[in-house]
Each structure stands twice: as structure tokens, then as C-alpha cells.
Chains A and B, each alone.
Chain A
């Protein structure tokens, strides 16, 4: 079945450092890929998405590129802020077929940014 693997956390960085959170996936078809963020005590918020190979999703300074050849969707940000401290989830879904849009999540990566 489909699966998503994220790099082990937690990740601790200083403010203005460069961030990379690795995400690789195993899929039987051609999924859409997402990064969700969960701030303490809150639900998940969509951070960015990409629906086909070579698409780049971007939002709030975060970027991720859908790489079909390496089955990866790594999250990057050039300069993190304390307010970026949260749990980040990589996920995939299909727009149709028997999965009907259910999200398959990675295990989540805790990011802590210190001033």
C-alpha cells in the first residue's frame, strides 16, 4: 500500500537557519503531495501542495518540489523564525479511484526554533 516516510525528529534550529525536512513516499499511482503544519493545541493546516511531477508548492517562505524520479517531496525554508516551531506532516492522496481522497500521513517532524 501507499506510505510516507519523514526524517526522524525532532529538529532544533536557531532563528534564520536553513531548514530541510525530508519526505519520501511509496505509491501505486500518481498522488498529490502535501505538507501540513500543526501548531501546539491546534488542528492541521495545509502549508503547501503539488499535484504532479516537477510541480513546486510554496507558501510563507516554505517550498517543496514533487520529484517523481526520487519519490520525494522535501520541505525547505531559507530562514526559519521562532513562529515556525510546530509539527510538520508530509502526506499524499489521490484525486479519484478507490482511495477517494483519504490522506496518508508521515509520522510528523517536530521543529523547534530558538531565538
Chain B
């Protein structure tokens, strides 16, 4: 158990819909990262927050957004969903030094 929790575990929705994925980092970790894992793109970095502020952006679509709240949990919002958004979405957290990230179990999103 990494100490990072993600909800829900599975999500099935339809094209055009909007969903919210939630992540709680390990106790004391200030950084949260979001990654997308798909068969065709592999593991891709989406976005990073540090203590409530956006720090780095990767290949995140404009339809996707994220935020980190004062209690340090983070949410990833995916809107106008397309079939190609079906993937496993991982959250990770890290403490000082950024060197080691601890991953949650992931949310599997299926868009029908």
C-alpha cells in the first residue's frame, strides 16, 4: 500500500459527459502528479501541483483540468469525453526533492 488513494476505482460513462477523479496523497506529501496510461500512448504525464499551485503541465488536453485543494487532495476533471479518453488514470505524490513518487492504484475510465 503506497498510501495514495484514488476514487473511484472504475468509471463507465458515455461520450460527451464529464467526470471527476479524486486523489488523496500520502500524508505530508505536497506534490501531486496525474498520469494517463493507455495502450497506444503508454504512460504520459498530465499535470503536477505543489501545495495548491500548478507546477508543470504535460500532454494534457484543454478539455481536462485539475486542481489541488487546501487539504492537499487533488481532482482531475475530464469533460466532453471521447472514446479515446478511455484509459487508466494514475495519481502519484511525492515529498521534498521530487525524486521518488508513490502511485495510487489508478482509476480505470471507460467511455462508451
Contact = CB atoms under 8 A, between A and B. Distances in A.
Contacts of A93: 98-99, 101
A98 B56 contact: yes
Interface string B25-54: 000000101010000001111001010000
Interface stretch (A14-22, A58-66, A104-112): A104-112
Given A100-B50, A100-B55, A107-B42, A49 B99 contact: yes
Nearest to A107: B42
B1 to A, nearest CB: 10
Interface string B1-42: 010100000000000000000000000000101010000001
A96 B98 CA distance: 8
Interface in B72-112: 90, 92, 94, 97-106
A43 interface: yes
Contacts of B2: 43, 45
Size class of the contact patch on chain A: 20 to 34
A95 B31 CA distance: 13
Interface in A43-60: 43-46, 49, 51
Contacts of B92: 44, 103
Given A100-B50, A102-B33, A107-B42, A46 B55 contact: no
A101 interface: yes
Contacts of B98: 93-96, 100-101
B43 A89 contact: yes
